[in-house]
Amino acid sequence: GSELIYIKGCKTKNCQSIILRGPNEMMLDEMSRTVHDALCTLKRVLESSSIIPGGGCIEAALSIYLEMFATSIETREQLAIDQFAEALLVIPKTLAVNAALDSTELVSQLRSYHNESQKIKGQGID
């Protein structure tokens, strides 16, 4: 079963502890590195007050842009640009599959959000 460890009566109230438990040293080392990476990321976000999107966002946005750009070209390069745009979607699809999520649904939603954000009002780009 699960065990809880309570640490009471600490002199300082402004600090927190993270206690890691694992089956072996290798797993504990990996957990420690993961927590360290997460805390460093949080520290950087708080210091810079800006976030760069991840999870395939950049690739999805570029894919949408390239698909729109490809339709403006009348030569065979249009096909190459369109195929490259499709290849960019491998990254968000792979991330979704690795997270055990429905990649088709998530990539569709991601593309829809990016498509809406790339519409330019008054210029007829839909």
Torsion of CA 14, 18, 19, 21, to 10 degrees: 170
Closest to 91 in 3D by CA, of 114, 110, 78: 110
- Residue 77 vs residue 16, higher pLDDT: 77
Q: Show contacts of 63-68: CB within 8 Å, 24+ apart.
A: 63/88, 63/89, 63/111, 63/114, 64/111, 64/114, 64/115, 64/118, 65/118, 68/118, 68/125
33-61 pLDDT per residue, tens: 999 999 998 888 888 877 777 888 889 88
Confidence of residue 126 (pLDDT cuts 50, 70, 90): very low
Instruction: Report the predicted TM-score, pTM, of the whole model to 2 decimal places.
Output: 0.57
Q: Is pLDDT of 120 > 60?
A: no
The C-alpha atoms of residue 28 and residue 24 are separated, in whole angstroms, by 6
- Tell me which of 13-17, 63-67, 118-122 is least confident: 118-122
Q: Is pLDDT of 124 > 50?
A: no
60-98 pLDDT per residue, tens: 889 999 998 999 999 999 999 999 999 999 999 999 898
* Vertex 114: Cα angle to 109 and 115 (nearest 5): 95
Whole-number pLDDT of residue 2: 63
